[in-house]
Structure 1
Amino acid sequence: MQKSNHKSIQELADSIDTSVSTISRFAKRIGYDNYPELQLAIKQQLDNPDIAAVDIDNHDPNILVAEKVFRSNSSSLNKTFDLLTETSLNKAVDLIKNCQKLTFFGLGASEVVALDGYHKFLRTQVEAIFNSDYHMALMQAAKMDENDCAIVISHSGQNLDTLKMARILKENRVPIIVITSFSASTLAKLGTTTFYSVSDDSKYRSQALSSLISQMSIIDCLYMSVMRDESKHNSPKLARINSVIKQTRE
């Protein structure tokens, strides 16, 4: 099972002498939307022998604590990357590039990720919006429509306030890019496209805090792809942004 969990759907189909469509139907039959969601569920259920090795012991010297933190973060990033697909990335980038407004939604620890995303996309030609106040975020969600795009972040995918915002967006037919850690969560099902962040629990840091690095990295991937495409065209707006930022360093 561990070996199959690292294979793409085509590689798994070839190794067990079946078709991609058969595996896809199997994933849906047992309650998942697609094969990547099934992969994520398997990852979360398997006992990972590396987890104990990176957990912090009361007597660890500081340099060993640092080593374990870096190893844990690296492990989370690698697992998150394994769940990324070209299809989902292309879809999300297209939604962002073609929207009138890109709004970030996140509460609690996820607010840190939303703010980070907002800060990144302010440097692009995309009109980025973020409200840290929950009621203001609700009003912003109510104003959006199918020409906009929302990025909604929640580790559990079950936060009631986050779900309320997501449902308002859904009612307004707003395309939603979801970033969460649980494929079976309610929020994951509301996404136009959904990305999954993987994190390991530890004695001194919850999964919710650990997942921030993976979630920020997913947003960074989207940001870099958008910036790559924007750099192909001479944009007066982008030139003004870079000029203003440069002035702060002189």
Structure 2
Amino acid sequence: MLTRIHNRLGQFSKTEEKIARYILNHAELIPNMTTKELAEKAEVSEASVIRFSKSIGIGSFKAFKIALAQELAVGDEEYISDFSIVHKKDSPYDLFQKVVHVNKGAIELLASSLDKKELERAVNVLKEARRVLFFGVGGSAIAAVDSLYKFTKLGFQTEFNHDFHYMLSLITHLNEKDVFVAISMSGKTKDVMDLVQFAKKKGATVIAITNISKSPLYKQADIRLATPTVEKDFRSGSITSRMTQLTVIDTLYISLFNTIGKHVLEQYQEAREEVVKLRR
């Protein structure tokens, strides 16, 4: 996106060039701006900002902001998570700032990739579930563990285990009243896909938390909670993808607590009292 704008600098009108130069010099600010704010900063009209978005092949300013935010998130993510990081001279605090920036950008992109209706379907299905199984491998396993903890607090019959064969033994007991939540950034992990296919065979509803890039898991799932594509497969660690996955889990947890929370408040309080007693 930024390269496209830079390469066309000599082709823009004077008004478009003012907008383009402001964007190139303040790219990290644009995703959080309104058309009015950008117009004021670039000293042009709002209509000119809208026309600029269309002139570079983007249908609207909103779509332009999403595309730019994704470009910035991926670019910074590569900088801090691929193996070229060993050649950088940034201080720990510089890297902290970059991590904050890319995580914030990824979560903002999640607001665009997550479909409202799919989220509502997921909450409704989970609310009525007899049993909920979570599964993820590698970095995605962190989100599965977090899910296990949160859903157990809500009183759900919940399971997660790193062992593939153990999960297979659990899935044999599933039926149409149960839910299998598959978590995978790439949506291509063989263990995840094998368990998904088995869960579907048993009649369970499959909810996928995976990238919006139409992965195999995205296509197999009954309900798709799509996360933005903010990482490449070759990286030194799951950073932004983990953040988006945890945000989806938190949303499901809070939504369910909002719906059924009054039925478990007594248990919440009891657990809280026991935690306080165990403090040293």
- Is TM-score (shorter-chain normalized) higher than 0.5? yes
State the partner residue of 2:169: 139
1:170 equivalent to 2:193? Answer no
Give the direction of change, closer, same or farther, for the CA distance of 1:248–1:81 in structure 2 (3 Å limit).
farther
Gaps of 5+ in 1: 3-14, 16-38
Residue 245 of structure 1 deviates from its aligned partner by 3.8
Kept in 1: contact 2:131–2:179 (CA 8 A): yes
SS in 2 for 1:232: helix
Query: Aligned-pair distance for 1:248?
Result: 3.2
2:217 pairs with 1:193: no
The answer to whether structure 1 residue 231 and structure 2 residue 254 are counterparts is no
1:72 corresponds to which of 102, 106, 111: 102
User: What TM-score does the superposition give when structure 1 sets the normalisation length?
Assistant: 0.73
Structure 1 residues 66, 205: closer, same or farther in 2, change over 3 A?
A: farther
Give 1 or 2 for the bigger CA radius of gyration. 2
**How far apart, CA to CA, are the structure 1 residues paired with 2:73 and 2:156?**
40
The unaligned stretches of length 5 or more in structure 2 are 3-49, 51-62
> Which TM-score applies when normalising by structure 2?
0.66
Q: Which secondary structure state, in structure 2, belongs to the residue aligned with residue 125 of structure 1? A: coil
Counterpart CA distance in 1 for 2:160 and 2:72 is 39
One-letter code aligned to 2:194 = K
Worse-matched range after superposition: 159-168 or 208-217 = 208-217
In structure 2, the partner of 1:148 is 178
Q: Give runs of aligned pairs for residues 1-250 of structure 1, distance below 5 A.
A: 48-49=71-72, 51-52=74-75, 55-56=79-80, 58-201=88-231, 205-206=235-236, 208-233=238-263, 236-249=266-279
* 1:246 CA drift (Å): 4.3
The percentage of counterpart residues that share the same residue type is 25
Per-residue deviation, residues 195-225 of structure 1 (Å, max 9, x unmatched):
12225348x9457443011101101100011
Q: Which one is further off, 115-124 or 231-240?
A: 231-240
Distance 1:162 1:47, change over 3 A: closer
- In structure 1, the partner of 2:54 is none
Which AA in structure 2 matches 1:48? E
Is the 8 Å Cα contact of residues 152 and 178 (structure 1) preserved in structure 2?
Answer: yes
CA distance in 2 between partners of 1:47 and 1:169 (Å)? 33
The structure where helix makes up a greater share of residues is 2
